[in-house]
Structure 1
Amino acid sequence: MAEGKCATCSRYLLIVFNFLFWICGGVCIGIGLWAVLDPEIESYLRQLANINIPLDSILVAAYILIAVGSFMFFVGFCGCCGAIRESACMLGVYIACMAVVICGELSAGIYVAVEKGNLEGLLRKQLLGEVRNYTRRSNRTTISLDFLQARFECCGADSFKDYLSNPYYYNSTKNIYVPDSCCRDKGTKLTPPEPRNSTACQIEAKLQLNTTTSELRTKGCFPILTNWLDANSAILIGAVVGIAVIEILGLIFAVCLCRNRTIYYD
């Protein structure tokens, strides 16, 4: 067995932590495989969450979940088995993987802090692009914008007038000037939402009112979204720091166990 109270404590903590990590990885893989293999997944999600998600978006998310789950499963397996067997090889692989993850997270944090202004510009550009390409046909763009506009009660990137640059709405002959998700809804939580008074909303959009309206959401999503991110930045930073602390402790425990082990299985 490992020598010293520190090494013994590290061994048991590593076993518990990585066993849970291993289980989480297996769950992610299982959910991802279910989403890929089940032909009824699209309709099931629509019934479960009242959200119409295209199949290609579901498959992309499923493959990402499988990839992340596989990595978690592998790292958790190496850490758990390495701690049980006090295997230098498995502990070494675990230490290397955790070091790569921590360095990646640190690099990402520094990049976001340094490039915050440029990232906000890219976000605004992306929102403007999606607004200009929005149509009433259900696709990935319409679903993401409908959700964003309904969730944050906004319309367009900078304002509802951004839809004037959208050919579909600019050339519309049906007196439709903004999507239904730009109108105040009935609170049914449907996607796309059901407008409370679609006619009045479209009239207000046609008149391009700059004052507060009764049915049209005039504020843009970009300023509301950036304000929301700023307001919740402390929570996001706290969550990231908490995860990083756990990962660093796991790395320290693995190094401590690797240096003080007495039984060799390699």
Structure 2
Amino acid sequence: MMAGCGPKIAKFFLFILNFCLWVCSIVLIAGGAFVTAEYKPYVDYLFSNDTILIVSWTTIGIGVFIFIVGFAGCCGAIRENSCLLKMYLMFVFIIVLAEPVLGILTFVYIGDIEQSLEDGMLQSINETYDLKAGATEAVDDIQKLFHCCGANGYSDYKNSEHLKEGLAVPESCCVIKNHITGITANCTMGAKGQPTYPDLVWIDGCVDASKDSIKNYYLIILAVAFGFHVFGILTMVFACCVINGMNKDGYNRNINRDPNSPAFGG
């Protein structure tokens, strides 16, 4: 058991900070899992590449790694194992150095994700909407969810090869859709991409409409990563204090056991 008030206080704060790291890791895992679950069913039809899933899987992996590292730190402190704590210190240092890279990649990939959504959705609208059930469902779902129409607007349906004849836009683009006779019919009337009553159709494209939601997901992840950066530095400081206290305690015990030391009159 370590002697002295300082190392014991450092050990206590190391537990507290590791708990905060665990919370951060759980949020990272949950955030990455949520984005993966939310967008995985639509990746094939709404995105031109897997960028959004790559970022999400990376976030989950980092979260799991942080959780394991935090657990090792607590075990090292409880057992007062200098080797475990030094390994813990090294891994936390690596993660702290990697955090800015994650932040930069997050901002870079946000732009790629928006472009991927635009390209993928336009391809589905032009080539597979009303031809493949998966593409139709994916486009309809995002239009209903974000109250939007097309990737950039309802005019995107001008080039839709398989949109049913006589429809300007799908029903999922309608602003008002209820049981009142004629509302839905009026909304979808017109040539492809040119609704007769545009006031009944959502004006915003889905790329712009979903942009804030995508950014919010990743801003949350970035905020958690920044929180870990701060907690990581603090845990490194307290881990060093605990290791130093353990080394001093071991040194003192060795001196007290040495018959040639002043304590034994040597």
So what's the TM-score if we normalise by structure 2?
A: 0.60
Structure number with the higher helix fraction is 2
Identify the residue that residue 151 of structure 1 maps to in structure 2.
145
Q: Percent identity?
A: 27
Larger Rg: 2
Identify the residue that residue 244 of structure 2 maps to in structure 1.
259
| Contact in 1 for aligned 2:93/2:236 (Cα 8 Å) | yes
Q: After superposition, give the CA deviation of every residue in 1:155-194 in whole Å (9 maximum; x if it has no partner).
A: 222212223344333xx34x3454443233669xxxxxxx
State the Cα distance separating 1:131 from its structure 2 match: 3.2
Distance of aligned partners of 1:106 and 1:68 in 2 relative to their CA distance in 1, 3 Å threshold: closer
**Structure 2 residue matching 1:158: 3-state secondary structure:** coil
State the Cα distance separating 1:81 from its structure 2 match: 0.1
Which residues of structure 1 form unaligned runs of 5+? Answer: 30-44, 46-50, 188-195
State the Cα distance separating 1:254 from its structure 2 match: 2.0
| Contact in 2 for aligned 1:155/1:218 (Cα 8 Å) | yes
Residue in structure 2 matching 1:123, options 98, 109, 114: 114
What CA distance in whole angstroms lies between the structure 2 residues aligned with 1:177 and 1:152? 19
Identify the residue that residue 189 of structure 2 maps to in structure 1.
203
Identify the residue that residue 261 of structure 2 maps to in structure 1.
none
Q: What is the one-letter code of the residue matched to 1:133?
A: S
What CA distance in whole angstroms lies between the structure 2 residues aligned with 1:217 and 1:202? 11
Which residues of structure 2 form unaligned runs of 5+? Answer: 30-36, 45-52, 251-266
Q: What is the one-letter code of the residue matched to 2:227?
A: G
**Structure 1 residue matching 2:199: 3-state secondary structure:** coil
What CA distance in whole angstroms lies between the structure 1 residues aligned with 2:193 and 2:133? 27
Distance of aligned partners of 1:143 and 1:79 in 2 relative to their CA distance in 1, 3 Å threshold: farther
Identify the residue that residue 84 of structure 1 maps to in structure 2.
78
| Contact in 2 for aligned 1:127/1:156 (Cα 8 Å) | no
Identify the residue that residue 223 of structure 1 maps to in structure 2.
208
Identify the residue that residue 160 of structure 1 maps to in structure 2.
154
State the Cα distance separating 1:103 from its structure 2 match: 2.3
Distance of aligned partners of 1:160 and 1:252 in 2 relative to their CA distance in 1, 3 Å threshold: farther
Q: Write the mapping of 1:242-257 to structure 2, written as runs, cut at 5 A.
A: 242-257=227-242
| Contact in 2 for aligned 1:154/1:219 (Cα 8 Å) | yes
State the Cα distance separating 1:107 from its structure 2 match: 1.0
**Structure 2 residue matching 1:154: 3-state secondary structure:** coil
Q: After superposition, give the CA deviation of every residue in 1:3-57 in whole Å (9 maximum; x if it has no partner).
A: 554432231232344367669979x99xxxxxxxxxxxxxxx9xxxxx9985x99
Distance of aligned partners of 1:244 and 1:219 in 2 relative to their CA distance in 1, 3 Å threshold: same
State the Cα distance separating 1:112 from its structure 2 match: 4.8
Q: Write the mapping of 1:71-110 to structure 2, written as runs, cut at 5 A.
A: 71-110=65-104
**Structure 2 residue matching 1:157: 3-state secondary structure:** coil
Q: CA RMSD in A?
A: 4.7
So what's the TM-score if we normalise by structure 1?
A: 0.60
| Contact in 1 for aligned 2:106/2:218 (Cα 8 Å) | no
Q: Write the mapping of 1:16-31 to structure 2, written as runs, cut at 5 A.
A: 16-18=16-18
Instruction: Confirm whether residue 241 of structure 1 aligns to residue 232 of structure 2.
Output: no
Aligned length: 225
What CA distance in whole angstroms lies between the structure 2 residues aligned with 1:250 and 1:205? 64
